[in-house]
Amino acid sequence: MEDYRRVGVAIDFSPCSRKALEWTVNNIVRKGDHLILVTVLREGHYEEGEAQLWQATGSPLIPLIEFTEPHTMKKYGVNPDPETLDIVATASRQKEVILKFTVIMSTLGFTVHRTRFELLFAFLILFDVEQIRCSPFRNCNIYILTMQITVLLKIFWGDAREKICESVESIPLECLVIGNRGLGKIKRAIMGSVSNYVVNNATCPITVVKIHD
């Protein structure tokens, strides 16, 4: 059984979607989650042999290391903006470090149970491993377990409203965040609202982050 969540964010690399992404990172995503950016293009950019499969199911899940490379993204017809890449790169570096240790205070000549030093070591979590090893407590046996946020990109081609809803089930997603530009009634009537459609048709919890241009 998987012990991580798949948290989706609808992305079109606009200021609105960047705000939704920032909100997701700050308020929903926790350590160990898979943060999946869902983007939809109107026209397909793919090789001939992949056209039929990708048009129906979207691209494979693309890891962060690949979608930060312009050459790779050119294959898909996607051009991520630097601000979005910076947000996800920062999120992926955030780690929860769990220290498990047996403390042997050689200078005092006795062994101290781990729980006695949990509070003493709590502040050391703020520092990196090298600092801990170079500290007066370097005689400790330290085991490090890190849990990172995994960032992935999924590309679909077609109608944004329909494909975002499809992504919920095809990936699948536990929840989805989408930005809303706060269009007026007339513009909303003419252009339609992707977020409204997704809220009414997606099969997972949806959070709408309202952004006023």
d(CA 24, CA 151): 12
pLDDT digits (tens, 9 = 90+) for 2-17: 678 999 999 999 999 9
Question: Which pLDDT score, from 0 to 100, does residue 47 have?
Answer: 57
pTM: 0.71
Contact (Cβ atoms closer than 8 angstroms) between residue 181 and residue 213: yes
Helix axis angle, 194-201 to 160-170, nearest 10°? 40
d(CA 106, CA 72): 53
Burial of 36 (0-12, 13-18, 19+ CB in 10 A): buried
Question: Which pLDDT score, from 0 to 100, does residue 213 have?
Answer: 57
Question: Which pLDDT score, from 0 to 100, does residue 175 have?
Answer: 97
d(CA 116, CA 1): 34
* Ranges of CATH 3.40.50.620 domains, the chain: 6-93+149-210
Question: Which pLDDT score, from 0 to 100, does residue 43 have?
Answer: 72
Helices vs strands, H then E, count in the chain: 10, 9
Question: Which pLDDT score, from 0 to 100, does residue 77 have?
Answer: 84
The single-letter DSSP state of residue 203 is: S
Taking the chain (213 residues) in runs of 10, the rounded mean pLDDT of each run is 85 92 94 93 65 75 91 86 93 57 41 45 46 48 59 93 95 95 52 80 94 68
Question: Which pLDDT score, from 0 to 100, does residue 44 have?
Answer: 61
Alpha carbon 64 to its chain's center: 9
Question: Which pLDDT score, from 0 to 100, does residue 71 have?
Answer: 86
Domain 6-93+149-210, second-level architecture: 3-Layer(aba) Sandwich (3.40)
Rg (CA), the chain: 22
Question: Which pLDDT score, from 0 to 100, does residue 98 have?
Answer: 39
If we measure between CA atoms, which residue out of 37, 123, 46 comes closest to residue 84?
37
Question: Which pLDDT score, from 0 to 100, does residue 163 have?
Answer: 94
Alpha carbon 52 to its chain's center: 28
